[in-house]
Amino acid sequence: MKTKTWHEVACLSDLVPDQALAVRIGDKDIAIANVEGELHAFSNVCTHAYALLSDGFLEDHVIVCPLHEAEFCVKTGKALRLPATIDLQVFPVRVEAERILVAVEDD
């Protein structure tokens, strides 16, 4: 089983309402969403046509892809609406002293 490492990716103050925040860890594009104070981290690349979900709209716990309106649950990564059929990968996320950390598997 691969080990995971926590990476500091952003500050709490970087988050804006109604949008997910784009961050990168290595070559992974990851998005962070704030849902009623709880943070969630998920792959920022739409599984349909590879647009960046951080360019789309965050509505409660649902992220809407800007290109074709595919929808995903930011808590579980589940694809909720066509044209997406493949779920997003999700990542553990935590906050330490205003800083946001995300855990990814080591390469």
Partner 1 sequence: MYLQDSWYVAAWANEIADKPLGRIILGEPIVLLRDPNGVPHALEDRCCHRKVRLSGGKVIGDRLQCPYHGLEYNFDGACVRVPGQSRVPPAATIRKYAVVERWQLIWIWMGDPDKADETSIPNWWQMDHPEWRVPKGNLLHVSCNYELLIDNLLDLSHVTYVHASSIGTQEVGDVAASVSKISDGVRSTRWIFCCPPAPFHTKVAGITSPIDRWQISDAVVPCFVLLDLGAAPAGTGAEQGDRSKALEFRVFNAAVPETESTTHYFFAHARRFQLENPVVDKIFANDFVNVFLEDKAMLDEQQRMMDLDPGEFRIDINADAAGLQFRRLLKRRIESAPERTSVNS
Residue ranges that bind partner 1, judged by CB under 8 A: 49, 51-52, 55-57, 66-69
Closest alpha carbon to 38 in 75, 78, 88: 75
**Least distance to partner 1, CB of residue 4, Å:** 29
Q: Which is nearer to partner 1, 88 or 93 (CB)?
A: 88
Q: Which is nearer to partner 1, 54 or 93 (CB)?
A: 54
**Least distance to partner 1, CB of residue 102, Å:** 22
Q: Which is nearer to partner 1, 72 or 104 (CB)?
A: 72
89-to-13, 17, 29, 104 alpha-carbon distances in Å? 25, 22, 11, 11
